[in-house]
Structure 1
Amino acid sequence: MSLLSHIKGLLTTVQPGDPIRHQEDLLTSLLVMAWMVEARDPYTGGHLWRVSQFSQLLATRAGLHADDVSGIAVGAFLHDLGKISVPDHILGKKDRLSDEEYAVIKTHPEVGWRMLSSHPLAQLAEAAIRAHHETPDGRGYPRGLAGQDIPVDARIVGICDAFDAMTSTRPYRTGMPVPQALDIIAQNLGTQFDREMGERFVALGKAGELDHIVGHSDSGIPLQACLMCGPTIAVPRSHQMGTRLYCPSCTAEYETSRSGGILQLTATGCNGSPADLEPKVDPDVIGDVVRTAARALLVS
């Protein structure tokens, strides 16, 4: 039985009256958990959304079936779930990691899978979570898979994850230009990145088809820059003019406004309280992923 058939059977058996609603509830529980894990790192705002969007686009252009595309988009959103086990001093370190610290980082794929394995839809994201750091030359982790032994989900998510890391700002460096990141991918096809999917991704980038995702945290909403920390502030789709937002790194408070139709943030000179700084899930972003995936998985 295929994974898709298994999921359909599970949903219609558990809740025959409204299988799509049940599917959405199951997926929402996973994505909210991943969102809260991402919130631990102040410099990864929007990372899950971007990797999911890149992966969905690449899988679609590769001609994969709609249900596979949806599964890859969900897996991409969940790929870093296991980073919940990585201590803050390692996750947010501004200098090069030691060998011991890097060994801790390398545990996150298997930790993420153990966290998810008892969930009813665990198999949907297993490949993306466990194998997104495997590489075609067999030198990746955690299992040293090589070539076609790496599931296509993981080959796609691995490329998109690396590209977003390269083009995003971190405490120790600014994000590199898109052409530079594409060149690095092109130079490492067949070793670090799957050749077929990597070539497709580079072509998308050169055609400008990734530009609406790079540096954004939602459709049409670019990350906003803190005066001290750079682009760390994700603006929720539901924001209104005068909404107060906070840098997750230095806690500085900003107020939203528009000038010539362009969203801007103005520093208030204040800092956020503990209540202000609590991670807040954006239901619009998660809702988009959930609704698309739930319907594709049941209708296809």
Structure 2
Amino acid sequence: MFWRRKPAPVEQHQHAQGLLTTLYVMAAMVEARDPYTGGHLWRVSQYSRLVAEKLGLPAADIARIGLGAFLHDLGKVGVPDEILRKPGRLTDEEYDVIKAHPEVGMRVLAGHPLSGLVEAAVLAHHETPDGRGYPQGLSDAEIPDDARIVGVCDAFDAMTSHRPYRAGMPVEKALNIIEENMGRQFDRAAATALLELAGSGELDPILGHTDDGIPLQDCPACGPTIVVRRDQQAGDLSCCRSCGAEVSVVEQAGKLAITPTGQLATKAALAPEADDALINALVESVIAHLELPENL
């Protein structure tokens, strides 16, 4: 008779680390397809964690919500590039493709041992209290708490970030829109917490950043984002994955920035890659607090 030896604590921890890493890497690689959304997942995850803390949620819930926030757009792997990167407004048919991404995300996660931790955020982050969201048209208390928090944080970052078809709006304008739509488009408690965090300046270190202390960079040639990784140093090379312009990492006022080299990046440099150092740090920040499945 075959039997499975129960993993020792160290083995179980390493197994959980590996599973969490696969989730973060999947999400990071999907984000890397879109040159305009660099750092979006990190920012939404950080905003969501702060909102959850502000609402007084337990550490396990905060860790789970932060993880779900990083995974929330996983289903965009199923959105064609011509729609994902379209510089103009989407047609109704194209928007329907975008609206399918929560359900696609759950299909991507099917069978993953940790999928239950992020299901609410992935599937329901576009549901709204007035019942006019998608994909299920849930309303009010039907919407999971994780999705209520991730939903408002996702919208805030989307409004304040540049996109191919429009510039990011000022923070105050985005906050006013959220305040005006509390109880309809945005959960009232989560939105109120976000507004209070913004008022106290606690969102400032996240706004316009792609990691702790690393500002988001814009391509000097064509405008999309260029992400500087935490393991990079002055003199390292990076590039724009939209136009192929090569840039050099420099240090300005104690922070990493970029300057153009005047060259085109190599084909190898243009290939999407996950930020291993960032992902390892994210895994370590949540693994001690997550309530992992007993059968892991």
Give TM-score, length-normalised by structure 1.
0.92
**Structure 2 unmatched ranges of 5 or more:** none
Tell me what 2:196 maps to: 203
Indicate conservation of the 8 Å contact 1:20/1:295, yes or no. no
Q: CA deviation at 1:229?
A: 2.9
Change (3 A) 1:231 1:219: farther
SS at match of 2:288: helix
In the alignment, structure 1 residue 234 sits paired with structure 2 residue 234: no
Q: CA deviation at 1:247?
A: 1.1
Give distance in 1, aligned partners of 2:128 and 2:6: 38
> How big is the alpha-carbon RMSD for the aligned residues of Structure 1 and Structure 2?
1.5
**Structure 1 unmatched ranges of 5 or more:** 1-11
Indicate conservation of the 8 Å contact 2:127/2:137, yes or no. yes
SS at match of 1:270: strand
Indicate conservation of the 8 Å contact 1:50/1:164, yes or no. yes
Out of 173, 177, 180, the position equivalent to 1:184 is: 177
Give distance in 2, aligned partners of 1:252 and 1:165: 25
Indicate conservation of the 8 Å contact 2:213/2:255, yes or no. no
| Amino acid of the structure 1 residue aligned with 2:210 | S
Q: CA deviation at 1:275?
A: 0.6
Provide the aligned length of Structure 1 versus Structure 2.
288
Indicate conservation of the 8 Å contact 2:244/2:270, yes or no. yes
Tell me what 1:96 maps to: 89
Indicate conservation of the 8 Å contact 2:65/2:121, yes or no. yes
Q: Deviations over 1:1-51 (max 9, x none)?
A: xxxxxxxxxxx9455443222111110011101110111111011111111
Tell me what 1:215 maps to: 208
Tell me what 1:173 maps to: 166
Q: Equivalent residues in 2 for 1:56-135 (5 A)?
A: 56-135=49-128
Tell me what 1:6 maps to: none
Tell me what 2:290 maps to: 297
Give distance in 1, aligned partners of 2:116 and 2:70: 14
Q: Deviations over 1:84-121 (max 9, x none)?
A: 11111000111110000000101000010011021001
Q: CA deviation at 1:258?
A: 2.3
**Percent of residue pairs identical:** 57
Tell me what 2:35 maps to: 42
SS at match of 2:52: helix
In the alignment, structure 1 residue 282 sits paired with structure 2 residue 275: yes
Give distance in 2, aligned partners of 1:106 and 1:171: 19
Q: CA deviation at 1:261?
A: 2.9
